[in-house]
Structure 1
Amino acid sequence: MKMQKKKLPDSISRQLEKFVKFVKKQFSNAKPALENLRNHLSTLQKQSARQKNIPIPAQDAPTPVRKRHMRYDRMILAALLLFLIVFLLISLIRCAAKGGKPDVQAANAPVVTTVVTTLSPEQLQQRHAVYPHAITVVGDSIASGFSLYGAIPEENGLAKGCVAIRNIHDFTFADSSGAEKDILEVLREKQPPYIYLSMGMNDINLLSAEEYTAQYAAEIEKILTICPDSDIIVAGITPILPSSDFTSNASIQQYNAALAQTIQQLNRENVAYFDAYAVISDPASGGLAEMYSAGDGVHLGNAAYPALLNALCPLLDAMPVPPAFPALEQRLTETTAAETAISGTE
């Protein structure tokens, strides 16, 4: 039975290869210096011999003279070896110092997590069907449409009219028992796998973009403290019809750009920005597409919410899977399979 040779990790192999190349380069640079040192010592030897009237040793030179010159050769060799050892030590220290710098920079750099899914197309489709049951929507009257139109279960809708990021704690929301509580208390009890935050239409005319994003970031940090295992999706403000005079789509896009930058700066792998504006906007007008309008130019109609959820799925696929999600996915999948089996026998 042949023993397989263990390979060094790629990182160590690359460091060793870099060090060997560095030493070779430095040693080749040191050759002229060593040669000059040897010639200089040889010249000193000859001068010393001439000053003492001692002839330069030859093969037939007397034994004491030959021994004296052998001592000189050994001294030269020892000096060369000492010089080489010191040079290699200095090179090693320099190489180690250079090798250490990238590690320090890497430690300070933002952590980027790449999630590689191995799910089949059928498994992905099944997971996408589970997402609406795992998402709790928090926000204003536009966000309330998710549960109002049946895109998510009613108990997962924590949204009310007039809610804004600046005043969300002025409102109460029903928990699982129907008791009205602050949004943070409800989320603490619920611990949803995914939290979809959607508000801003009621802020845009009263807060600057800087105030809006600062208050949003503060609320996200509060939610992360009480729901550390939840994934948070921060939706951009949705567009309005170009004919609406509530605000302008240019202002909405400005606030959304500031919000997207704020989420990026948070640098949390379980917090992501979702460009809801792009999903339901009309490429021709740049505003809300007519097919997604509820008629007043600001609120969204029934068709908008499935479109938003479908566009959200790839983003959720790329985020870390919340610890509570697999159990929910298994339970819902088993329930669906059982219902399918029952309907097939009828």
Structure 2
Amino acid sequence: MRIRRPALPIAAALLAAALAPALLAGTTESTLFTKPVQLTREHRIDLWRIENPDIEPGAIAFVGDSITAGFPLLTAFPEQRTINRGIPGDTSAQVLERMQESVYDLDPGIVVLMIGTNDLGHGGTVEQAVENTARIVRLVQANEPQAHILLQSVYPVYDGDPAALARSSVGLRTNDALDDINAALRALAGLAGVEYIDVNSALRGPDGLRAEYTVDGLHLSPAGYEAAATVLADVLR
């Protein structure tokens, strides 16, 4: 059973006020400080606990990892009421740990889920990523039955000439393993009665993730986000 948590005490509220510009900008930087402030995972979740009671039900909750966290939702979907619940570095298991703050407290109308690439990045398996994603879908269906679930494909990684990138964050991820996840997610969507959204194909070229769509082989560039948003906007409309 889900439990609605009360707002945090004044110290946490002050933290929220200090770091709010970073969250609203969709970055981990705050202009209130002379140097960038890196929001920890715990900071983000604490801030969500503060703001969630004031969020009107029925929004579109984007849930995922750093790719979701960096998605410029306000500019990509200006006519939609979107909430960003992405945390850099999160795996599917870690999303399961924060379902309350990321989904249940919001009573969303739509949940856009994309998770799994970090499972591979941390040495996990395709099976672990898919099993945990299936658990997330079941929990949303059980606790938020009004929510329409959009299950995104995981995105490709760049596997071309490394010299084309200034740096690489691909690590252990391979497009073959990501394709295996996506095949399983497509099947999962059919079995669970949710909608599978293939964003992977729109981002892909002969070298996996198109070089112009990425900053480091994994994370998207502005052009990459624009390509992903085009696919998602058609569904959200």
Q: TM-score range by the shorter chain?
A: 0.5 to 0.7
CA distance in 1, matches of 2:86, 2:101: 15
The answer to whether 1:290 aligns with 2:211 is yes
The answer to whether 1:272 aligns with 2:190 is no
Whether the 8 Å CA contact 2:62–2:82 is kept in 1: the answer is: no
The structure with more radius of gyration: 1
Aligned to 1:309: 229
> What amino acid does structure 2 have at the position aligned with 1:156?
I
Q: Tell me the TM-score normalized by structure 2.
A: 0.63
Q: Secondary structure at the match of 2:142?
A: helix
CA distance in 1, matches of 2:82, 2:231: 22
> What amino acid does structure 2 have at the position aligned with 1:162?
G
Cα drift, residue 134 of structure 1: 4.7
1:158 to 85, 95, 104: 85
The answer to whether 1:145 aligns with 2:70 is yes
Aligned to 2:125: 208
Aligned to 1:248: 174
CA distance in 2, matches of 1:135, 1:307: 19
CA RMSD in angstroms comes to 2.5
1:1-346 maps to which residues of 2 (within 5 A)? Answer: 134-147=59-72, 150-152=75-77, 156-170=83-97, 182-205=98-121, 206-243=123-160, 246=171, 247-266=173-192, 268=193, 271-282=194-205, 284-285=206-207, 287-294=208-215, 296-316=216-236
Cα drift, residue 280 of structure 1: 0.9
CA distance in 2, matches of 1:298, 1:273: 21
Whether the 8 Å CA contact 2:74–2:82 is kept in 1: the answer is: no
Q: Secondary structure at the match of 1:238?
A: coil
Q: Secondary structure at the match of 2:196?
A: strand
Distance 1:240 1:233, change over 3 A: same
Distance 1:239 1:149, change over 3 A: farther
Q: Secondary structure at the match of 1:167?
A: helix
Structure 1 unaligned residues grouped into runs of 5+: 1-132, 171-181, 318-346
Whether the 8 Å CA contact 2:126–2:177 is kept in 1: the answer is: no
**Greater length-normalized contact order (CA 8 Å, ≥ 6 residues apart):** 2
Q: Secondary structure at the match of 1:161?
A: coil
Q: Secondary structure at the match of 1:156?
A: strand
Whether the 8 Å CA contact 2:104–2:144 is kept in 1: the answer is: yes
Percent of paired sites with the same residue: 26
Whether the 8 Å CA contact 1:147–1:156 is kept in 2: the answer is: no
Distance 1:186 1:159, change over 3 A: closer
Whether the 8 Å CA contact 1:191–1:227 is kept in 2: the answer is: yes
Q: Deviations over 1:38-63 (max 9, x none)?
A: xxxxxxxxxxxxxxxxxxxxxxxxxx
Cα drift, residue 238 of structure 1: 0.6
CA distance in 2, matches of 1:263, 1:221: 11
Q: Secondary structure at the match of 1:166?
A: helix
CA distance in 1, matches of 2:175, 2:102: 33
CA distance in 1, matches of 2:119, 2:191: 21
CA distance in 1, matches of 2:112, 2:182: 15
Q: Deviations over 1:53-102 (max 9, x none)?
A: xxxxxxxxxxxxxxxxxxxxxxxxxxxxxxxxxxxxxxxxxxxxxxxxxx
Cα drift, residue 186 of structure 1: 4.5
> What amino acid does structure 1 have at the position aligned with 2:112?
Y
Q: Secondary structure at the match of 2:93?
A: coil
Show structure 1 runs of 4+ deviating over 6 A.
none
Cα drift, residue 144 of structure 1: 1.0
Distance 1:152 1:134, change over 3 A: farther
CA distance in 1, matches of 2:59, 2:212: 27
Cα drift, residue 187 of structure 1: 2.1
> What amino acid does structure 2 have at the position aligned with 1:278?
S
More helix by share: 1
